[in-house]
Amino acid sequence: MSLDTVVKAQDDSKDRGWLQDGPVGAHTFGQPYTELGLKDDEYQRIVTILDRRPTSSELAMYSVMWSEHCSYKSSKVHLRQFGEKAPASDAMLVGIGENAGVVDVGQGYAVTFKVESHNHPSYVEPYQGAATGIGGIVRDILAMGARPVAVMDPLRFGAADHPDTRRVLPGVVSGIGGYGNCLGLPNIGGEVVFDPCYQGNPLVNALCVGVMKHEDIHLAKASGTGNLVILYGARTGGDGIGGVSVLASETFDADGPAKRPAVQVGDPFQEKLLIECTLEVFAEDLVTGIQDLGGAGLSCATSELASAGSGGMRVDLDKVPLRDATLAPEEILMSESQERMCAIVEPGKVERFLEICAKWDVIATVIGEVTDGDRLEIFWHGEQIVDVPPRTVAHEGPVYERPIARPAWQDALQADGSEQLPRPRTGDELRAALLAVTGSPNLADKSWITDQYDRYVLGNTVLAQPEDAGMIRVDEETNLGVAVSTDGNGRFCKLDPYTGAQLALAEAYRNVATTGARPLAVTDCLNFGSPEDPGVMWQFAEACRGLADACQVLGTPVTGGNVSFYNQTGEIAIHPTPVVGVLGVIDDVTRRTPIGFREEGQIILLLGDTREELSGSVWADVVHNHLGGLPPKVDLERERLLAEVLIAGSRDGMVDAAHDLADGGLAQALVEACLRGGNGARIVLPEELDPFVALFSESAGRAVVAVPRSEELRFTDMCRVRHLPVARIGVVDGDALEIQGQFTVGLDELKAANSAPLRGLFA
Amino acid sequence: MTARIGVVTFPGSLDDRDAQRAVRIAGAEPVALWHGDSSLHGVDGVVLPGGFSYGDYLRCGAISRFSPVMETIISEAQGGLPVLGICNGFQILCESHLLPGALTRNDHLHFICRDQRLRIETSDTAWTSSYEAGQEIVVPLKNGEGGYVADERTLDMLEAEGRVVARYLELNPNGSRRDIAGISNAAGNVVGLMPHPEHAVEPLTGPTTDGLGFFTSVLKKLVGA
């Protein structure tokens, strides 16, 4: 049964309003709740809450708001620890639960940032799915009172050479560009990862950063009896109905019905007007509460605003401006039409509010008011169609303790370490391995993708991809800035989700620190398979626990994020893929440290310990197509120490380049630093290490830095005083990467290998 | 007295703040102009900034061209007011017939953002007098519909009259005829440019500061005059 049929069937029943049934037991009243994604017990719970048969509109609201996507019903019990274990942080101004977390970055500025998924829509319709993913996260940031200043996109696709990747990737990339470029937001980073596990379930995550003054923070709550509810932005259409319940909260069937109508369609021009209009409204202090309309549309906005406020709201649904006059009230409540916001405005300020909307050609309509009751009441041409306690819709949905079981295959997987695989021994073999690794799609130059994004607009981009983190200047007078990096490694998480999640955090944290910024806070997008699979739930629980524990040690609280379950086609789930975004602050962006070796003669130092850690590595993947063993060890205290050294090195002007070591190990870090800076390097590997291990191990807690000769002693003394291992491994020189005693590769050859894969496959 | 340079904001303009910053760094006073206000508020020159005015709907620049502010700008430009159209601004100038030709979808069909090498072909315009003819500069380029086209006669005329202001070097990023990155009107006061000099005015945020010359050029002309 399609959604259209469901809604039509409800139309025909002619009972949008009240039924005369009294208190009821376990009846279903023939309502199509299963088709709307509700389980039997969930439906019964609604009947119990209301003590009667829900109206079709109420059923529509509960079904979308109690969907996995909106209610976090399977994840809530695990997500709680992000709050419970949160390290004490003076920086946190607004925590989990609002549209996005807000962090104090000093000088009266606050920064809000969040990463979200738009995975399912992007597989069904890559362009619009990815485009509206940007639109949604930007409105979340805007709703906090901030001007959005940058976006980033962590992306994961199936095998680079798979035919369907050629359908999905170009569509996703042009959707992100088409929407983000038109909004005027610089795209400053992200990730592009290929793995067959994402073939039927690509991950399209989107992060947005916004900046405001402390006093500009706005919250999503409806308070003040008599205040008016204003819906503004685009007209409501029939797109995206059931997006959260049907698309994002179910597993894809191999041959199920087409789900394209459940994907929203974006209009970035409308969103740009909405941004400017909203910021002007904020500047004149015209709103008491605000919420964007995203997943679950008006159902979500009205119930959340009312639930977080005093509790009562009355809405006349027939006042909602429509794109399609034939829409039924249930459809209006469920529609996920984009580019809409809902504001709570005092009566005396409504006129000015509407004037500003008119200036920006934004349609604004008073659709209701805050009442002194505790019910959300919705009317349709005078007839009451909804009468519910808003908390039961928005905040008191079902919570599940899903069964958890460590997968039976986990032990065998962990026993099959990549350390046992045949290794390159000679210089020629090492050279071939380096070219294979650096020429693999995952480590290849991503400029074919990132050149489709505007990284310059707004004029405050200090660092953008392929740097370790994106960096934005916040204040043009003082040079205060923020840096953001996102990282995730599904392969490590598959081997051990607890450690894998910590490695993702450690890498993002390190990436922020290499630029010279001090990591402050975390956002996460937790991409997993079906929560109804106990093995997946175990992965999820372990990843959450790992992340929460690590945030505690690093002193970086999780400020918000998003869970995406059901990234699974049939029985095959994706690798567990928590994507972690870290935000840092830098007092003076002119002190930022880029990754490239820009000056010949500078000394190259390796910081941290290299162990024989090859399981889950890029080398094991590219050369042996192997995944097994245990991921690299995490030492969070070491990560803290490394970050302190990198930040001090930047602040005191000792370091001219710094690059973190992660995928592809030292070998890839050197390739990237050389290519970025346009200079070669002569490297002498540490004697105590096997050359192969030195080059390709992916031990965490490491970075390479280039320091001027005059600063070498000061820098290495600082490392020794702080007990951070430091080894001089070479010098920036020439136009080749030379590993002395092993091999030499010219920069031209490296560049050719590194830039070939993506342009070859997609250009 | 400092020159006052207006920067127009249309619905969907994106680089208006950047253009204002560039004007300020060049030493002039930026003045925000609004598309719905036909007054230019006494400015000495105008920048039409980049962006996606009206979402590029219908055709890039086709709707903005009819805004009240453009009516005034068209008539003042014909009287010699210096006008620089960058990217979407260039598209608006072509739609307004202040400049000949049109900008079409990039030949490779993708949006492209890159640091672009250009050769300034003439210093005889209001916006390029700070450069030497033949000077090479690097400024950001970012467009989806930046392919400059005109009929052969028009192209020949532009070349013959020295109205090709800048040309792409090393790589033609969008399929522009004869590698044309920017042109001027016959009087040299109106210039349309596809690349973005306003993104190359600070060493911190731009690939170079090569773009500043466009803004100091107009200042020199105005203060000198």
How far is C-alpha A657 from the geometric centre of its chain's CA atoms? 27
**Max intra-chain CA distance, chain A:** 88
How far is the C-alpha of A115 from the C-alpha of B222, rounded, in Å? 48
How far is the C-alpha of A640 from the C-alpha of A21, rounded, in Å? 63
Minimum CA–CA partner of B55 in chain A: A269
Residues A424-450 have a mean pLDDT of 97
Q: Residue A405: CA atoms inside 13 Å, Cβ hemisphere, count?
A: 8
pLDDT of residue A251: 62
pLDDT of residue A607: 98
Nearest to A458 among B18, B55, B56 (CB): B18
Confidence check: pLDDT of A3 > 50: no
Give residue A11's pLDDT band: very low, low, confident or very high (50, 70, 90).
Answer: very low
Nearest to A462 among B56, B113, B205 (CB): B205
User: Which of A267, A247, A259, A332 is closest to A297 using CA atoms?
Assistant: A332
Most A CBs within 10 Å, among B63, B205, B212, B215, to test the A interface: B205
Confidence check: pLDDT of B89 > 80: yes
Interface predicted TM-score (ipTM) of this complex, two decimals: 0.97
How far is the C-alpha of A455 from the C-alpha of A505, rounded, in Å? 25
Bridge partner residues of B202 (DSSP)? none
Encode burial over A612-633: b for 16+ CB neighbours within 10 A, e otherwise.
ebbbbbbbbbbbeebbbbbbbe
Structure-block tokens of residue B171 = 């790589």
- The pLDDT tens digits of the residues spanning B157-173 come to 999 999 999 999 999 99
pLDDT of residue B190: 98
Structure-block tokens of residue A200 = 């039927």
Minimum CA–CA partner of B16 in chain A: A458
Q: Do A459 and B198 lie within an 8 Å CB cutoff?
A: yes
Does the CA dihedral A748-A754-A757-A758 come out positive or negative? negative
Average pLDDT value for chain A = 92
Is B207 within 8 Å of chain A by CB?
Answer: no
Confidence check: pLDDT of A260 > 50: no
Pair A45, A398: CB distance under 8 Å: yes
How far is the C-alpha of A250 from the C-alpha of A123, rounded, in Å? 13
Minimum CA–CA partner of A361 in chain B: B11
How far is the C-alpha of A382 from the C-alpha of A385, rounded, in Å? 9
Pair A502, A580: CB distance under 8 Å: no
How many Å lie between the alpha carbon of A597 and the closest alpha carbon of chain B? Answer: 16
How far is the C-alpha of A370 from the C-alpha of A288, rounded, in Å? 11
pLDDT of residue A35: 86
Task: Kindly state the helix (H) or strand (E) to which residue B180 belongs, with its residue range.
Answer: strand B180-184
Average pLDDT value for chain B = 96
pLDDT of residue A117: 95
CA distances from A449 to A153, A177, A675, A759 (A): 11, 9, 18, 9
Nearest to A451 among B50, B57, B114 (CB): B114
Lowest average pLDDT, out of A758-762, B81-85, B113-117, goes to A758-762
pLDDT of residue A242: 67
CA angle A610, A612, A613 (to 5 degrees): 95
User: Which of A62, A127, A114 is closest to A263 using CA atoms?
Assistant: A127
CA distances from A630 to A68, A579, A634 (A): 31, 19, 11
Minimum CA–CA partner of A472 in chain B: B205
Residues with Cβ within 8 Å of residue B218, at least 6 apart in sequence? B3, B5, B28, B45, B82, B84, B126, B127
Structure-block tokens of residue A326 = 């034939």
Q: Do B204 and A272 lie within an 8 Å CB cutoff?
A: no
Give residue A262's pLDDT band: very low, low, confident or very high (50, 70, 90).
Answer: low
How far is C-alpha A571 from the geometric centre of its chain's CA atoms? 25
User: Which of A394, A464, A404 is closest to A61 using CA atoms?
Assistant: A394
Pair B100, B94: CB distance under 8 Å: yes
Encode burial over A719-756: b for 16+ CB neighbours within 10 A, e otherwise.
beeeebbbbebbbbbbebbbbeebbebebeebbebbbe
What radius of gyration, in Å, describes the C-alpha atoms of chain B?
15
Give residue A23's pLDDT band: very low, low, confident or very high (50, 70, 90).
Answer: very low
| Cβ count near B97 (within 10 Å) | 9
**Is B87 tagged catalytic?**
yes
Minimum CA–CA partner of A479 in chain B: B204
How far is the C-alpha of A431 from the C-alpha of A434, rounded, in Å? 5
How far is the C-alpha of A30 from the C-alpha of A258, rounded, in Å? 25
| Cβ count near A276 (within 10 Å) | 20
Q: Percent of chain A beyond pLDDT 70?
A: 94
Residues on chain B touching A174 (C-beta within 8 angstroms): 110-111
Encode burial over A301-319: b for 16+ CB neighbours within 10 A, e otherwise.
bbbbbbbbbbbbbbbbbee
Residues with Cβ within 8 Å of residue A331, at least 6 apart in sequence? A7, A60, A238, A241
pLDDT of residue A249: 60
Pair B197, B22: CB distance under 8 Å: yes
Structure-block tokens of residue B155 = 């192209």
Q: Do A456 and B142 lie within an 8 Å CB cutoff?
A: yes
Q: Percent of chain A beyond pLDDT 90?
A: 85
Which of B35, B121, B145, B196 is labelled catalytic? B196
User: Which of A488, A405, A560, A588 is closest to A197 using CA atoms?
Assistant: A488
Residues on chain B touching A182 (C-beta within 8 angstroms): 12, 14, 52, 55-56
- The pLDDT tens digits of the residues spanning A411-425 come to 999 999 999 999 999
Is B121 within 8 Å of chain A by CB?
Answer: no
Residues A688-701 have a mean pLDDT of 97
Residues with Cβ within 8 Å of residue B45, at least 6 apart in sequence? B3, B5, B6, B81, B82, B83, B84, B126, B218, B222
How far is the C-alpha of A250 from the C-alpha of A568, rounded, in Å? 9
- The pLDDT tens digits of the residues spanning A546-565 come to 999 999 999 999 999 999 99
Is B25 within 8 Å of chain A by CB?
Answer: no
Q: Do A269 and B18 lie within an 8 Å CB cutoff?
A: no
Which of B60, B87, B121, B145 is labelled catalytic? B87
Q: Do A456 and B111 lie within an 8 Å CB cutoff?
A: no
Nearest to A460 among B140, B142, B205 (CB): B205
Q: What is the dihedral of CA A308, A310, A314, A317, to 10 degrees?
A: -10
| Cβ count near A385 (within 10 Å) | 24
- The pLDDT tens digits of the residues spanning A149-194 come to 999 999 999 999 999 999 999 999 999 999 999 999 999 999 999 9
Which positions 83-102 of B are in contact with A (Cβ < 8 Å)? none
How many Å lie between the alpha carbon of B181 and the closest alpha carbon of chain A? Answer: 18
Q: β-pairing, A383-388 with A461-463?
A: unpaired
User: Which of A415, A227, A219, A216 is closest to A304 using CA atoms?
Assistant: A219
Pair A664, A621: CB distance under 8 Å: no
Q: Residue A190: CA atoms inside 13 Å, Cβ hemisphere, count?
A: 31
DSSP string across A423-458 = ---SHHHHHHHHHHHHTSTTTS--HHHHTTS---TT
Is B18 within 8 Å of chain A by CB?
Answer: yes
Nearest to B54 among A269, A457, A461 (CB): A269
Residues A358-370 have a mean pLDDT of 97
Is B37 within 8 Å of chain A by CB?
Answer: no
- The pLDDT tens digits of the residues spanning B196-218 come to 999 999 999 999 999 999 999 99
pLDDT of residue A310: 81
Confidence check: pLDDT of A2 > 80: no
- The pLDDT tens digits of the residues spanning A187-208 come to 999 999 999 999 999 999 999 9
Is B159 within 8 Å of chain A by CB?
Answer: no
Residues A665-694 have a mean pLDDT of 97
How far is the C-alpha of A351 from the C-alpha of A345, rounded, in Å? 10
Q: Do B144 and A181 lie within an 8 Å CB cutoff?
A: yes
Confidence check: pLDDT of B145 > 90: yes
Residues A506-510 have a mean pLDDT of 98
How many Å lie between the alpha carbon of A171 and the closest alpha carbon of chain B? Answer: 11
Residues with Cβ within 8 Å of residue B142, at least 6 apart in sequence? A181, A454, A456, A457, B50, B87, B111, B112, B113, B114, B196
pLDDT of residue A20: 36
Confidence check: pLDDT of A355 > 50: yes
Q: Do B55 and A182 lie within an 8 Å CB cutoff?
A: yes
pLDDT of residue A28: 65
How far is the C-alpha of A498 from the C-alpha of B3, rounded, in Å? 62
Go through the domains of chain B in sequence order and give each one's CATH number.
Answer: 4-223 (3.40.50.880)
Structure-block tokens of residue A290 = 């605000």
| Cβ count near B42 (within 10 Å) | 8
Most A CBs within 10 Å, among B15, B34, B88, B113, to test the A interface: B113
Pair A732, A601: CB distance under 8 Å: yes
Confidence check: pLDDT of B140 > 70: yes
End-to-end CA distance of chain B: 12
Pair B1, B32: CB distance under 8 Å: no
Residues A680-688 have a mean pLDDT of 96
Secondary structure letter of residue B57 according to DSSP: -
How far is the C-alpha of A551 from the C-alpha of A639, rounded, in Å? 12
Strand-by-strand arrangement of the A743-746 sheet: A657-660, A703-707, A603-607, A726-732, A681-683, A736-739, A743-746
How far is the C-alpha of A270 from the C-alpha of A139, rounded, in Å? 12
- The length of chain B in residues reads 225
How far is the C-alpha of A276 from the C-alpha of A255, rounded, in Å? 43
pLDDT of residue A22: 39
The catalytic residues of A are 69, 118
Confidence check: pLDDT of A714 > 90: yes
Is A184 within 8 Å of chain B by CB?
Answer: yes
Does the CA dihedral A188-A293-A105-A88 come out positive or negative? negative
